[in-house]
């Protein structure tokens, strides 16, 4: 598991609005620049989906500690 890469991606998702928008629109392309295992990519893609819900209009579902 590449915890350093995961941490970099998560930090960037929350600090870089342009990257976050790209990751929400197409997680596979946005995450391609990082060396991630398939399971790590899957989890981060799920996070991008959750962020799409959180960034969208309307009530915010409970996303735990991600938001």
Give the domain ranges of the chain: 3-54
Q: What is the pLDDT of residue 56?
A: 54
Res 18: pLDDT: 93
Q: How many CA atoms lie within 13 A of 27 on its CB side?
A: 19
* Cβ–Cβ < 8 Å for 16, 3: no
Mean per-residue pLDDT pooled into runs of 10, the chain (67 residues) = 88 90 91 93 88 60 48
Q: pLDDT value at position 55?
A: 58
**What pLDDT is recorded for position 50?**
83
Please provide the DSSP assignment of 9-26 as one string: HHHHHHH-HHHHHHHHH-
pLDDT of residue 33: 92
Residues contacting residue 40 through CB under 8 Å, at least 6 positions apart? 1, 2, 5, 6
């Amino acid at each position: 598991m590449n915890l350093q890469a995961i941490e970099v991606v998560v930090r960037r998702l929350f600090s870089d609005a342009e990257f976050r928008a790209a990751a929400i629109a197409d997680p596979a392309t946005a995450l391609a620049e990082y060396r991630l295992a398939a399971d790590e990519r899957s989890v981060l893609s799920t996070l991008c989906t959750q962020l799409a819900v959180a960034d969208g209009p309307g009530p915010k579902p409970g996303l735990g500690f991600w938001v």
